[in-house]
Structure 1
Amino acid sequence: SFGAYNAEGYKLELSYYGNREGLSIRLEKPMEMGPITWPDSEAGRQLPAPKSLTGKFSFEYDDNFFVYIGGTSRDDYNAYVSACRDKGFTVDYNKGDNYYRDQQRRGVQVSIDYEGNQIMSIRIDAPDTSSGSTTSEPSPDSSTPSATAQNDGKLVNGMRKDFKEAIDSYEAFMNEYV
């Protein structure tokens, strides 16, 4: 696999699948970001606000959120990871050059990734204390608006409604190009 950004912010991803002898080519347009307000929610109070407040929320609830933060150099990313560690995110951590995963003593999980092109992503999730809850957390998606409605838990053909809609949309998209 290979991924890179150009000067205008377009992201190119190339993936070769040897078992299928196939090459996947994906080109993403630059992510649109604007001024954000750091959440004053339960989840937002667990983390320090980043240096840059230019970004885009993929989703935001009281106990979890996923946000892309622009204007973030690699040094800013590293400083943010250090600030999160200072807030107690040091339990069972996993760190690489472009990612940091951790869990606080209270079970709060955080994922911080350096995406490239001066973009960092931050996801925080509250501990899973519910058993049988019908509320689901959406998957982060750069095209998902921040006002995403929570899933009602009903199944359509054995799948969650939001998952079925995503699959149907993908199928329609692929049918246009095949």
Structure 2
Amino acid sequence: MWKNSEEELDIYIEGISYSQFDAYIFLCKQKGFTVDAVKDTDKYTAYNSTGYKLDLQHWSSERFDINLKAPLVGDENFEWPSHVFADLVPQQDGKTGTVETANEDTLKIILYDVSSSEVKSYISECESAGFTIDAEKKDTSFNGFNEDGYELSISYNEMKAMSITINAPIQMTEISWPSSGPAKLIPKPSFSVGKITSDYDWAFSVYLGDMTIDDFNAYVDRCIDKGFEKDYRSEHYFSADKGDDISLTVEYVGFNTIVIRIYDYNQF
């Protein structure tokens, strides 16, 4: 089932397994959909270098949704948004732009006809505004936190568009570690403040707070001791498998927070 227009393509497919969904994400990355990429258990969102936005979602009913949107066109009368998050970063005037997302968790602004030197200057202004915690900067891209836990991401593409995304701090509470499902296959962390974002027979994901880089590395070592064979390990990221059907990732995402994701494909 599908619908198509000049601005948007929607495709809905039934009978798609999670492993097929995961394989399709890999194919989309090969096609260039890696800009501002965000992956959660059953969702993937990314842009390509020309500004097309791809949204993928897999449902427990084995329905698979594909949504592709054409590049947005900036409003010539664009005004800096009144959203409370917009006050956290320096205001940019005199640009065409659009507000793509504005809710209680995220504000995303896209500005057009921006030069690379303007992006670099804006990144410096944001650092001066306090986004210096766990900051990562590469030429025309930036990611960092302020002291209140707000996360700022800045990216730039070939269309001379600058994306400014501000995410609210993750709201965490005391959690109880599940005694069933994929969570029982990995070591129980010694930290109990977090947020469980998915807990199914086949998938488990959780954010844990108060976790330093040293805590991240110590937990990764425990996973290796548990029998997970390293696929890739870097300063902030670890991926591993256990047998052919169990996949694990552990990532330090900044502001003393890690996210753990585990999938048990035996359950499909």
Residues 39-97 of structure 1 show CA distances to partners (whole Å, capped at 9, x for unaligned) of 11131211001121100011111332111001101100000000000001115x11111
Q: Post-superposition shift, 1:32?
A: 0.4
User: Do the aligned residues in 1 keep the contact of 2:206 with 2:260 (CA within 8 Å)?
Assistant: yes
Report whether the alignment pairs 1:55 with 2:194. yes
Residues 151-176 of structure 1 show CA distances to partners (whole Å, capped at 9, x for unaligned) of xxxxxxxxxxxxxxxxxxxxxxxxxx
Q: How many residues align?
A: 128
Report whether the alignment pairs 1:14 with 2:154. yes
Look up the match of 1:78. Answer: 217
Report whether the alignment pairs 1:122 with 2:260. yes
Name the CA distance, whole Å, in 1 between partners of 2:228 and 2:261.
13
User: Do the aligned residues in 2 keep the contact of 1:41 with 1:63 (CA within 8 Å)?
Assistant: no
Report whether the alignment pairs 1:4 with 2:144. yes
Length-normalised TM-score, structure 1: 0.69
Structure number with the bigger relative contact order (C-alpha 8 A, sep ≥ 6) is 1
Look up the match of 2:247. Answer: 109
Name the CA distance, whole Å, in 1 between partners of 2:148 and 2:181.
36
Percent identity (aligned) = 34
Name the CA distance, whole Å, in 1 between partners of 2:190 and 2:161.
41
Name the CA distance, whole Å, in 1 between partners of 2:265 and 2:148.
39
Look up the match of 2:226. Answer: 87
Cα-Cα RMSD: 1.3
Name the CA distance, whole Å, in 2 between partners of 1:15 and 1:95.
25
Q: Which has the higher strand share?
A: 2
SS at match of 1:81: helix
Name the CA distance, whole Å, in 2 between partners of 1:28 and 1:12.
7
Equivalent of 2:238 in 100, 109, 129:
100
Name the CA distance, whole Å, in 1 between partners of 2:190 and 2:155.
33
Structure 1 regions of 5+ residues with no counterpart? 131-178
Residues 110-160 of structure 1 show CA distances to partners (whole Å, capped at 9, x for unaligned) of 010000101000000002564xxxxxxxxxxxxxxxxxxxxxxxxxxxxxx
SS at match of 2:190: coil
